[in-house]
């Protein structure tokens, strides 16, 4: 019986520790101002590939799902 109590307390401590980690991550995520988020998005957009992928490369694989969708009339 004592073993079950210890396992229960260990589980309860694990749940509490998980809640603390989630709350900390949420606080860090919400700490960004809208200007910070906008600046990060602009940085990511600047490093992204500026050229679109040609349709021939998208439809190269016959079984590719996107290729099947693009072939539909």
The pLDDT tens digits for 14-50 are 999 999 999 998 888 888 888 988 999 999 888 876 6
d(CA 21, CA 28) in angstroms, rounded, equals 11
pLDDT at 52 over 70: no
pLDDT band at 60 (very low <50, low <70, confident <90, very high): low
**Domain for residue 44, yes or no?**
yes
Classify residue 55: in a domain, yes or no: no
- pLDDT of 73 reads 60
Model's pTM, two decimal places?
0.40
Cβ neighbours of residue 32 under 8 Å, at least 6 residues apart? 40
Domain-embedded: residue 8: yes
Is residue 66 domain-resident?
no
State residue 46's pLDDT score. 84
Report how far residue 66's alpha carbon sits from residue 60's, in angstroms, rounded to the nearest whole number. 10
């Amino acid at each position: 019986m004592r073993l079950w109590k210890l396992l229960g307390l260990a589980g309860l401590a694990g749940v509490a520790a998980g809640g603390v980690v989630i709350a900390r991550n949420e606080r860090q995520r919400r700490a960004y101002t809208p200007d910070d988020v906008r600046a990060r998005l602009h940085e990511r957009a600047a490093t992204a590939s500026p050229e679109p992928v040609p349709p021939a490369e998208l439809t190269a694989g016959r079984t590719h799902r996107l290729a099947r969708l693009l072939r539909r009339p």
